[in-house]
A and B are shown apart, each in its own frame.
Chain A
Amino acid sequence: DAGITQSPRHKVTETGTPVTLRCHQTENHRYMYWYRQDPGHGLRLIHYSYGVKDTDKGEVSDGYSVSRSKTEDFLLTLESATSSQTSVYFCAIMESWQGGGYTFGSGTRLTVV
């Protein structure tokens, strides 16, 4: 499905540890996004990328960093995980045929204990 995969699918980690989530796409899309999904909040943008090494913050970027050293990979790092970062994380790409809509990855369910 649009060649976008996320890993891992599930992860449990301890408070204070760093965690990296990976988003991989196979179709050379320029724009990539990281969202978190929480009940009552919908999908909120964490960070996004508009090209290799070109990234910017979204509305809920505190405690997160990203890197994009290759077109196909967009990494999201929780520098020191906290319980408030327990969430479902979705990566998305903007496909040109959709004219602006996104295709989402399958998501990563992260639990911080």
Chain B
Amino acid sequence: GENVEQHPSTLSVQEGDSAVIKCTYSDSASNYFPWYKQELGKRPQLIIDIRSNVGEKKDQRIAVTLNKTAKHFSLHITETQPEDSAVYFCAARSGTASKLTFGTGTRLQVTL
């Protein structure tokens, strides 16, 4: 089955700096890559996604890039703010029934 690795596990940045979280996947048939943000005690929420036929997607301060050849994708957050502090999960979809395999998460802390 699919295996998704995510790095780093923790990331601390100063407000206004950029943050980058990287994920790799194993199944070359995976075709959909969402990113979720989870605040403390809350449910994971979808923040951005990318499909395998697209190399980059942006939504205001966040962007995702995909390199199918290398089987890795990344989340970029620019001009970080304290409210960006949360745990971020990447995921990859493969196989039947649209199952998502998640990475182990990155705890992002934005300091003032």
Residues of A within 8 A of B (CB): 31, 33, 35, 40-45, 48, 50, 56, 58-59, 90, 94, 98-107
Contact = CB atoms under 8 A, between A and B. Distances in A.
Contact of B32 (A42, A100, A103, A107): A100
Residue from A42, A44, A104 whose CB has the most chain B CB atoms within 10 Å: A42
Interface residues of B, dominant DSSP: strand
A101 B44 contact: no
B97 interface: yes
B98 to A, nearest CB: 5
Contacts of A94: 98
B44 A100 contact: no
A56 B1 CA distance: 14
25 contacts: A31-B97, A33-B99, A33-B100, A35-B102, A42-B6, A42-B89, A42-B103, A43-B44, A43-B89, A45-B99, A48-B99, A58-B99, A90-B43, A90-B44, A98-B34, A98-B46, A99-B32, A99-B51, A100-B32, A100-B93, A101-B46, A102-B34, A102-B46, A104-B43, A107-B43
Interface of B: 1, 6, 32, 34, 42-46, 49, 51, 89, 93, 96-105
A42 B97 contact: no
B99 A101 contact: no
A99 B49 contact: yes
Nearest to B41: A107
Nearest to B97: A50
